[in-house]
Amino acid sequence: LTLADFEPLVGQCFRIGEGADVFDARLIQAVDLRESQGVGRRSRQFSLIWRGPPQMRIEQRVHRVQHPELAPRDLFLVCIGPDAQGMRYEAVFT
């Protein structure tokens, strides 16, 4: 997976979880985290942030993430807390 896979999907809804613990979350950010890795070399780090319902707080662990344009993926998600519109979750790719 690359940042380019997710950039066009910012603003769209994803399904997170499986079974009875499924909820919709909107991808609100896809951010390049690249830092210099020596002369002329760069890493492929990026971060994705979703916003879900305010009352939904999931544990920090691997969760199933689905979107119609991507194959279902198991991603390690961290709850980074609420903002004014809902609870936010982050996945970091290194």
Map tokens 């940042």 to a residue. Answer: 3
- Read off the pTM: 0.88
Digitized pLDDT (tens) for each residue of the chain, 94 residues in all: 899 999 999 999 999 998 888 999 999 999 998 764 554 545 579 999 999 999 888 999 999 999 999 999 999 999 999 999 999 999 999 8
